[in-house]
Amino acid sequence: PHYQEAHKQMPQTLREAIRAAQSRFDLEVRDMIVSRPDLPYRDIGRVFGVSYDVVQRVAKDFGLKRKTGPKPGWLKKTHKQAV
C-alpha cells in the first residue's frame, strides 16, 4: 500500500526530524539574508521569531558576509576625539 512508501520517506527518529526541520528553517533564513541585503539581521530575526544570534549563526554556517553597517553617531564622535 501507498502508506508504506510514505513511511519509508519519513525520518527514522525524532532527532532526524528535528535536524530536517532546522535545515529547512536555516535555508529560509539564508534566502532572506541573501535576497534582502537592506534588512538588518535583527529585523530578519523578528520576521522568523528568532534572535539576532540565530540569524548570525545561519549566515556564518552558509559563509555569508555583509559589509559593516554605518557606525552609530555616538561612536563616530568618540573616535574623532581619540584621534
pLDDT recorded at residue 2: 57
6: which 3 cell numbers? 510514505
Query: What backbone torsions phi and psi does residue 75 show, to the nearest 5 degrees?
Result: -75, -40
Looking at residue 5, what is its pLDDT?
A: 61
pLDDT score for 67: 82
In tens, the pLDDT along 2-31 reads: 555 655 666 578 888 899 999 999 999 999
Is the pLDDT reported for residue 82 higher than 70? no
pLDDT in tens, 36-62: 999 999 999 999 999 999 999 999 999
Per-residue cell: 42: 535583527
